[in-house]
């Protein structure tokens, strides 16, 4: 926060928050209120963000960040936002904890289960060629398991034949 107010919000395109201690946690609520945050298009953060409100990241086109955990409801909010967005490109959450897989299946229906991830595909509103791909991955890195949630826009031709492509259904 000591440097951010000096950046010109009209020319700033990327916020890259990094510290030497990547396991550190920082509160994001004050940073998210700044004009620099609101006008940037790319967000990269290699420390764990606390107090993240997913509504505060919807304007970014590219996001890579760490959070301790995220709820199925937050992921569903992002799904609804990105299936209607023409600017969104990619989002990746690195997570310490994730136990919402069953809840996501209740909300979104069946997922495609690959060897490394569970994946949902959703049609993009007003597009026959584009699909929102949402993956939940896990990495067993002893002594801890890490999770990641990735959202990306892909071409319909890149969806596996066995996968279900859900309607964009904004409800």
The mean of the pLDDT values for the chain is 87
Quote the pTM value.
Answer: 0.88
Residues 146-158: tens digit of each pLDDT:
889 999 999 999 9
Question: Which of 29, 69, 22, 68 has its CA nearest to residue 45?
Answer: 22
Alpha carbon of residue 81 to chain centroid: 11
What distance in Å separates the CA atoms of residue 84 and residue 50, rounded to the nearest whole number? 27
Looking at residue 53, its pLDDT comes to 93
Looking at residue 96, its pLDDT comes to 86
Show pLDDT as tens, one digit a residue, over the chain (171 residues).
566 766 777 878 988 887 777 677 888 888 888 898 899 999 999 888 888 999 999 999 999 999 989 999 999 999 999 999 888 999 999 998 888 989 999 999 999 988 788 999 999 988 889 999 999 998 777 777 788 999 999 999 999 999 999 987 655
Looking at residue 90, its pLDDT comes to 95
What distance in Å separates the CA atoms of residue 94 and residue 131, rounded to the nearest whole number? 22
Question: Which of 59, 66, 62 has its CA nearest to residue 32?
Answer: 59
Neighbours of 107 (CB within 10 A): 14
Three-state secondary structure along 98-110?
Answer: CCCHHHHHHHHCC
Residues 116-143: tens digit of each pLDDT:
889 999 999 888 899 999 999 987 777 7
Is 93:138 a contact under the CB 8 Å cutoff? no
């Amino acid at each position: 926060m000591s440097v951010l107010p000096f950046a010109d919000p009209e020319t700033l395109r990327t916020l890259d928050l990094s510290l030497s201690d990547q396991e550190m946690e920082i509160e994001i609520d004050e940073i998210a209120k700044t004009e620099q945050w609101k006008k940037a298009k790319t967000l990269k953060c290699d420390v764990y963000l606390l107090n993240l409100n997913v509504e505060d990241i919807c304007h970014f086109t590219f996001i890579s960040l760490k959070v301790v955990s995220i709820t199925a409801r937050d992921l569903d909010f992002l799904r609804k936002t990105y299936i209607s967005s023409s600017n969104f490109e990619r989002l990746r959450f690195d997570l310490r904890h994730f136990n919402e897989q069953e809840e996501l299946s209740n909300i979104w229906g069946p997922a495609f289960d690959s060897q490394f991830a569970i994946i949902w595909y959703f049609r993009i509103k007003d597009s026959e060629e584009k699909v929102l791909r949402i993956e939940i991955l896990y990495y067993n890195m002893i002594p801890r398991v890490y999770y990641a949630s990735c959202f990306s826009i892909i071409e319909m031709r890149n969806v596996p034949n066995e996968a279900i492509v859900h309607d964009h259904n904004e409800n």
